[in-house]
Amino acid sequence: MSEAVNFHFDVDGENFSSAGAASANVKKKLRQLGLSPEVIRKVSIAMYEGEINMVIHANGGTADVNVDDDYVTIILADTGPGIPNIELAMQEGYSTARDNIRALGFGAGMGLPNMKKYSDEMDVQTEIGVGTTITMKVKID
């Protein structure tokens, strides 16, 4: 591939049942681009967790995915409440998800740890009352 490819999605914060649509779409596109199953799996997990977090914790946001020769880069940006203590939030098992959200199967406190684990680079910018932007890179080898 010589030219980079970009995808943009608006992630709806109201609709829990369609949550994950952007990730599903990206997965399809990466398949069409012929990326390896391992890379697609890593991107799918990392992006799905980030997308879901924007839906359940930040009332939606945007997802931008860029594919070049070396990396799939995923940028998830929201204007939600921000994450007060990112070190705490990154810990396995930590979750502020409410009961109605937990009843859907969310709230294991594994989303951010999964994002860290399945991306090769991850950067979190967050400010209380302003929002959160998470950038993840998955290496294409």
Ligand X SMILES: Nc1ncnc2c1ncn2[C@@H]1O[C@H](COP(=O)(O)OP(=O)(O)OP(=O)(O)O)[C@@H](O)[C@H]1O
Tell me: does residue 50 bind other proteins (CB under 8 A): no
Q: Which of 9, 11, 23, 57 binds other proteins (CB under 8 A)?
A: 23
What distances in angstroms separate CA 9 from CA 1, 26, 51, 90, 100, one per listed residue?
A: 22, 10, 10, 25, 26
**At what angle are helices 37-58 and 21-32 packed, to 10 degrees?**
160
Rounded Cα–Cα distance for residues 48 and 21 (Å) = 9
Closer of 31 and 41 to ligand X (Cβ): 41
Q: 124: which residues sit within 8 A by CB, 6+ positions away?
A: 83, 86, 132, 133, 134
Q: Which of Mg ion, ligand X, other proteins, none sits in contact with 16, Cβ below 5 to 8 A by type?
A: other proteins
Residue 32 binds other proteins (CB under 8 A): no
Footprint of ligand X on residues 40-79 (CB under 6 A)? 49, 53-54, 57-58, 78
By a kind-dependent CB cut-off of 5 to 8 A, residue 97 interacts, out of Mg ion, other proteins, ligand X, none, with ligand X
53 near Mg ion, judged by CB under 5 A: yes
Specify which residues 7 forms β-bridges with: 65
Q: Which residues bind ligand X (CB under 6 A)?
A: 49, 53-54, 57-58, 78, 80-81, 83, 89, 94-97, 106-113, 132
